[in-house]
Amino acid sequence: MQKLDSITPIITPFTDNKVDKDKAVRHGEDVLKGGMKYLFPAGTTGLGPSMASGEKHDLLDAFAHIPDHVILQVGSLNLEDSIYLAREAKKYKIHAVAALPPYYFTGMKREWLIKYYTKLSSEYPTIIYNYPDTTGYNITYDMVNDIKKAGGDVIGIKETTFNMNDILNTKMYVQDFKVYTGPDQYILSAYRLGLDGFVSGASNYGYKIINKIIENYDNKDGDRYQFLLNELADLSRKYGTISSIYDMVEIMTGIDAGNPREPFFKLSKEERNSLEKEMNEAFKKYNFKP
């Protein structure tokens, strides 16, 4: 079995509202030691849209000792900032950059999106971060091909969508291009459908479960472990998307991952205790020892 690319959109630890580089490194190294291949700083799970370019650069610098394992998310509403970070990524010789399309503003012309990715990826190899529900734009296979025809060096796409038809079309109709699933629920699907890998927010805390999914992708145990991961992801949303992940990391790995940035508020002691109780119930239900 060929192991697919496993990518963790790593949470960003904050202390006094500043990026805590030491905690970021400690958590990131633990994730890599746990079997994941790449770290994806400044993504959605890492609160990237809330961060200034200088803070994203802090993360780039924090992981300078492991550049081959880093994919920095540089997309923003300011293309100049994104290009600056892509040029810095080149200096640090990381694996690649990734980029959300321009978001919030509606009515962005198709050709503008193509030009955006073409300009950015001409600076450094770029993975498109396709997240239609939050950006308002769906980067489809025909757009990817047009970016490549225009000279863009786009090397892959993170598909944060449940539209499997779009995902498979991109895999089928774009040559020399990696396709990664984004939802935690699609890790098993990535293996069974012959995709190139996955990006999983749950891998911040659940990499041991993901390793079990991978080991058992061709049997029913793979389904069991995927169902367990799905329940944990549901609990994360129940107790507060993103904020809960900081607690789940400490509960499952013992690593202090710091705090989120407000307005993503830290869970109360009562919320954390309730979350941990429900996590333990899920472990027992699926016969998993963390």
Q: What is the pLDDT of residues 119-169, one digit of tens each?
A: 999 999 999 999 999 999 999 999 999 999 999 999 999 999 999 999 999
Q: How far apart are CA 237 and CA 240, in angstroms?
A: 5
From the annotation, which residues make up the binding site?
A: 45, 199
Q: Does 207 participate in catalysis according to the annotation?
A: no
DSSP reduced 3-state for 39: strand
Closest CA to 90 of 113, 112, 74, 114: 74
> Once rounded to an integer, what is the mean pLDDT over residues 60-82?
97
Q: Averaged over 201-230, what is the pLDDT?
A: 98
Q: Among 56, 158, 178, 212, which one carries the catalytic annotation?
A: 158
- Amino acid letter, 251: I
Coil, strand, or helix at residue 192? helix
**3-state SS class at 251:** helix
pLDDT in tens, 247-260: 999 999 999 999 99
CATH architecture of 5-215: Alpha-Beta Barrel (3.20)
Task: Supply φ then ψ for residue 43, to 5 degrees.
Answer: -85, -165
- Kindly report the CA angle at 123 between 118 and 127, in degrees rounded to 5? 65
Which residue among the candidates 129, 141, 205, 207 is catalytic per the annotation? 129
Domain positions in the chain are: 5-215
Tell me how far apart the alpha carbons of residues 27 and 24 are, in angstroms, rounded to a whole number. 5
**Which parts are annotated binding residues for pyruvate?**
45, 199
Q: Is 158 a catalytic residue?
A: yes
Residues in contact with 106: Cβ distance below 8 Å, sequence separation at least 6, in sequence order? 136
Please provide the average confidence, as pLDDT, over all residues in the chain: 97
pTM, to two decimals = 0.97
Q: Shortest CA distance to 12 belongs to which of 263, 272, 265, 261? A: 261
pLDDT in tens, 9-41: 999 999 999 999 999 999 999 999 999 999 999
Work out the pLDDT band at 238, boundaries 50, 70, 90.
very high
CB 98 within 8 A of CB 121: no
* Predicted pLDDT at 227: 98
pLDDT of res. 1? 61
